[in-house]
Structures are given as C-alpha cells and as structure tokens.
C-alpha cells in the first residue's frame, strides 16, 4: 500500500518543509490538506496549484496551531485524515534569563501542544478507517541541544516523547507514529538568516553556509524538502508498517557526532 488515495493533513504547510511534504505526497497520489494561520488568496492558490500539477485533491484550511480548539477543528474540517503530519513550527533564539515568556509559551503551543491536539482529534478518525500514520516533524534538536534555543529544544524533545506515547497507545492497531528529525533544511526560514549572519561575521555566503549553518552537519549539505517528503511517504508505506515509536534522522550525520 502506498499513499495513493490517502488523505494527508499537513500542519504549517504554506511554506518550507510542510509545503514540500504536501507537494511530494500529492505527487505520489495522496489528497492533501494544507494549513497555516493565515487565510490569503495565495494560501488557497497554493492548494489549487498542487491540485492542477498533480491531479490530487488539495485544499487549504486556515487554523492557528497555537489555539487548541483550532487544532481540533482543523481535523474535523478535514473530514478524513489517514496521514497526519505535524509540522507547524517557529523558532526564537535568546539566553534563558532573557527568553521572553510569551515566546516560550508560543513555541511550546505551536511546536509541541498542537501535535497533541491534532493527534487527539485524528486518532478516532484513523481508528474508524482502520489505518493511520502520524508523522511528527521534530528536529535534530529533538535529540540534541544548542544554547539559546531552550523553548525549541524543549518542544522538539517533547515531540519525540509524544511520538513514543502515541506509538504505544496504537501499537496493536494498524496505526503508526514516528518522528522525523531533520538537520538544516534550506527553507525560506533558513535562507532569511544568511544575509544577517554574513554581516555579523563579515563572511561570504558560502562560508556562512559551510562554517556557521552547516557547522554541525557533517555532510556539509542541506537536507531538502523533497527528502523530508520522501521520508514521510516511506513511513506511510507498507514497508514501514512495523516502524513505530521511533525517530528517523535526516541530518547529514549531525546526531552521529
């Protein structure tokens, strides 16, 4: 069994990894539900474009993943959800004593609690259908830490823990739950950090990429959104039916160090 004909809900998917995963799953024949907190013409056009290019059904549903009720409403509005990809996430960088409390709360809500709420709403739907896949986009920071990223690292470690509990609660059913732990992926979010870092360290772009961004990524290459999409598709395939409660690193060797 492949993802063909399955319905995938991908949170935070009007940009970056989420959008890449949605495109890859649609290319492989899944119907996709895109999401973010905005509700613009461009958001809906992204879904139309995916549908046009792949022949899959693609919808955009607005829902703010910092709001528990909205997380649950997203699943309800989607109707069917065979593959749930919890991807929405934000970052803030500051030392612990200076870390703004509102940023801490927002990161925990969007990067961690949203996955709990969507999973809680999706599991009964998956059980009724007799099949399901939960794929949480964690991070290399779900397995290791960096200074100044307290909320992000705590949330991503939490996502890995939530993944394990989801797997245990569904272990005897045809439902799996796993986390993907990407290293650096060249998304608009990461691309936007390059000019400032060039200025800060007086470095050219290649040096910033190699010595700052990819410092901890031994391959010295970014992972791609297509590779993350392919990993989601693998986790949704029959070959992965006994893979549950684990993490798959897509990090060029970061966590091997």
Size of the site for ligand NAD (CB under 6 A): 27
DSSP 8-state code for residue 147: T
For position 139 contacting ligand NAD by CB under 6 A, the verdict is: yes
Q: Considering the complex, what minimum distance in angstroms separates the CB of residue 242 from ligand NAD?
A: 25
- Quick one: tokens of 164? 């394990």
Q: Binding mask 20-39 vs ligand NAD (x if CB under 6 A, - otherwise)? A: ----------------xx--
Name residues contacting ligand NAD, limited to 43-102 (CB under 6 A). 64-66, 87-90
Whose Cβ is closer to ligand NAD: residue 167's or residue 225's? Answer: 225
Closest by CA to 30, choosing from 4, 52, 51, is 4
Rounded to whole angstroms, the Cα distance separating 81 from 85 reads 10
Contact indicator for 251, 182 with CB cutoff of 8 Å: yes
Contact indicator for 134, 86 with CB cutoff of 8 Å: yes
Q: Binding mask 97-126 vs ligand NAD (x if CB under 6 A, - otherwise)? A: -------------xx---------------
Contact indicator for 149, 103 with CB cutoff of 8 Å: no
For position 212 contacting ligand NAD by CB under 6 A, the verdict is: no
78's enclosing H/E stretch is helix 68-78
- By annotation, the residues acting in catalysis are 152
Residues in contact with ligand NAD by CB under 6 A are: 12-18, 36-37, 64-66, 87-90, 110-111, 137, 139, 182, 184-185, 187-190
């Amino acid at each position: 069994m492949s993802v063909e004909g399955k319905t995938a809900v991908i949170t935070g998917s009007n940009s970056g990894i989420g959008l890449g995963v949605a495109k890859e799953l649609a290319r492989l024949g899944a119907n996709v539900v895109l999401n973010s907190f905005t509700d613009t013409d461009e958001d809906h056009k992204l879904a139309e474009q995916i549908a046009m290019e792949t022949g899959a059904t693609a919808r955009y549903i607005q829902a703010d993943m910092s709001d528990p009720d909205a997380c649950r409403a997203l699943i309800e509005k989607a109707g069917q959800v065979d593959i749930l990809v919890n991807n929405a996430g934000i970052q803030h960088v500051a030392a612990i004593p200076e870390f703004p409390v509102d940023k801490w709360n927002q990161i925990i809500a969007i990067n961690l609690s949203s996955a709990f709420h969507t999973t809680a709403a999706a599991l009964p739907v998956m059980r009724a259908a007799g099949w399901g896949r939960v794929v949480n986009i964690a991070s290399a920071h779900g397995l290791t830490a960096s200074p100044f990223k307290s909320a992000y690292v705590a949330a991503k470690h939490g996502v890995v823990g939530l993944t394990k509990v989801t797997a245990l609660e569904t272990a005897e059913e045809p439902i799996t739950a796993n986390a993907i732990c990407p290293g650096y992926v060249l998304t608009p979010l990461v691309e936007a950090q390059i000019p400032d870092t060039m200025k800060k360290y007086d470095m050219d772009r290649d040096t910033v990429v190699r010595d700052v961004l990819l410092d901890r990524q031994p391959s010295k290459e970014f992972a791609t959104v297509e590779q993350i999409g392919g990993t989601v598709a693998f986790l949704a395939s029959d070959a992965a039916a006994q893979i549950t409660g684990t993490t798959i690193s897509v990090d060029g060797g970061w966590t091997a160090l």
